[in-house]
Amino acid sequence: MIGVQFGAGNIGRGFMAHLFRESGLETVFVEAREELVRALNSRGWYPLRLLKKDGSSVDLKIDKVRAFLPSEKEKISQAISAAKIIATAVGAHNLPAIAPFLAAGFAQRCRESGEAINVLCCENLKDAPQVLQNLVLEHLEGEEERKFVAEKVGFVGTVIARMVPVVDARFGVDDPLFLVAEHYYRLPYDAKAVRGEMPRIVGLVPVKNFVAEMDRKLFIHNLGHAVLAYWGYLKGYRYIHEAINDEEIASILDGAWQEVSKALLQKYPDLDPKEHTELVKDLRERFANPLLMDTVQRVARDPLRKLKPQDRIVGAAMLCMSQGIFPNFVALCLAAALLYDWPEDQEAQKLQELIVAKGVKAVLKEVCELDPESDFARRVLEEYQKLCVRKKEWRK
């Protein structure tokens, strides 16, 4: 039994192939990087280190893997036709590139077995399943094939929460295939999007209210990361686990989580409050794991994207206000994000150029799509001015 994994990067190897292997599946990667494909095929396995919250770690050998280049179209189609499950982790901008391969594989599957199959979309794009389905249908001409995809291929959204830090010399392993990830298995997926029967795969959790699960990931996990990254950067910390051990930053994190948790539980009454509380507690412990050595700059990168109205910070504020909750602590996160000026982050430099050229109010209006005269924006501006003063003190 095989699982086809499009993308052999951090999530592809650091999460999905690991779950496939623990579930008894062979993983067939489809990967564009020739050196990586060659290395995987030559060795037939790769090392994965899982880092636990208690400070221990476990080294795994992920075997039963092989990889194809995009040029090996017939082999890819055959793998898709025979697969038990398919997953994508290629980046939303690369979905158009993999759609033709999926279409050809589904056409072959339609002819050969006609069995239903599901595609786990592990992409940082809210509408990735629908986008990918539409792209695949564009490459199918036969009515029977299009009907097969529409009725028997599930394009299933997932919520990826396993943290996979960038591997470098600090982990002390000189192996181009070596990966590090946190010891976290939970992978929620949209139960309503499944076609046929989902195979038993370790870690997969069916979720009926998938929109609520996505909002929780964005406004708890991603917002929490943003608080730690932007405040951690201002106060001169290198790693996320250092930032969460700062008493002031931890209090802002907890305050933001309390605001957003209350809003989430009000908006989605089918969420279990006890389960939610345990999830937040677990996440706090995971963020504090020193073994991850997740850098502040990695988590803070691309601030312009993260300041958009539907993203983790402003989106969390809008959620709170829609439920009658004023997001005081979320405002502190936004104020800190506006000061992010890491020299090696092009988006951070563009943000600061915008502030110099047009002012902070203009950025709140044009990037965040906030009314600069609203109570929330006024709160952000007030805290921004305070942080400008404190930033100078911290950097003396």
Last residue of a domain, one of 156, 175, 208: 208
In terms of domains, do 114 and 22 share one? yes
d(CA 18, CA 266): 36
- For residue 393, count other CB atoms closer than 10 A to its CB: 7
In terms of domains, do 291 and 333 share one? yes
d(CA 382, CA 140): 55
Say whether pLDDT at 167 is over 90. Answer: no
In terms of domains, do 21 and 48 share one? yes
For tokens 């400008």, the residue is 388
In terms of domains, do 172 and 28 share one? yes
Q: Let me know the angle formed at the C-alpha of 225 by 222 and 226, rounded to the nearest 5 degrees.
A: 90
The number of folded domains in the chain is 2
Task: Please answer whether residues 221 and 161 qualify as being in contact, where contact means their C-beta atoms are separated by less than 8 angstroms.
Answer: yes
| pLDDT at site 170 | 72
Q: What is the SS3 assignment for 207?
A: strand
- Model confidence pLDDT, tens digit, residues 63-81: 999 999 999 999 999 999 9
Task: Please answer whether residues 80 and 106 qualify as being in contact, where contact means their C-beta atoms are separated by less than 8 angstroms.
Answer: yes
Q: Residue 169's domain is classified under what CATH number?
A: 3.40.50.720
Using CA atoms, how far residue 161 sits from 11, 213, 359, in Å, is 10, 11, 35
Exposure on the CB side of residue 286, measured as CA atoms within 13 A: 21
Region 51-66: mean pLDDT is 94
What's the DSSP call for residue 239?
A: B
- Model confidence pLDDT, tens digit, residues 350-380: 999 999 999 999 999 999 999 999 999 999 9
In terms of domains, do 249 and 342 share one? yes
In terms of domains, do 104 and 167 share one? yes
Look at 83-87, 166-170, 201-205 and tell me which has the smallest mean pLDDT: 166-170
In terms of domains, do 105 and 232 share one? no
pTM for the whole structure:
0.92
Give the pLDDT band (50/70/90) at residue 396. Answer: low
Using CA atoms, how far residue 158 sits from 12, 192, 205, in Å, is 13, 12, 9
In terms of domains, do 190 and 237 share one? no
Region 224-228: mean pLDDT is 98
In terms of domains, do 189 and 232 share one? no
In terms of domains, do 85 and 178 share one? yes
In terms of domains, do 369 and 354 share one? yes
What residues make up the domain containing 194? 2-208
- Model confidence pLDDT, tens digit, residues 94-152: 999 999 999 999 999 999 999 999 999 999 888 999 999 999 999 998 999 999 999 99
Last residue of a domain, one of 208, 240, 273: 208
| pLDDT at site 166 | 78
d(CA 206, CA 194): 10
Task: Please answer whether residues 28 and 3 qualify as being in contact, where contact means their C-beta atoms are separated by less than 8 angstroms.
Answer: yes
| pLDDT at site 77 | 98
Last residue of a domain, one of 208, 230, 259: 208
Q: Let me know the angle formed at the C-alpha of 31 by 25 and 126, rounded to the nearest 5 degrees.
A: 85
Q: Residue 332's domain is classified under what CATH number?
A: 1.10.1040.10
Helices (H), 114-199: 128-138, 143-152
Say whether pLDDT at 168 is over 80. Answer: no
Q: What is the SS3 assignment for 177?
A: coil
Using CA atoms, how far residue 188 sits from 203, 209, 211, 274, in Å, is 8, 10, 11, 18
Residues of the chain with pLDDT > 90, as a percent, come to 92
d(CA 266, CA 309): 21
How much is the mean pLDDT over the chain? 95
In terms of domains, do 59 and 18 share one? yes
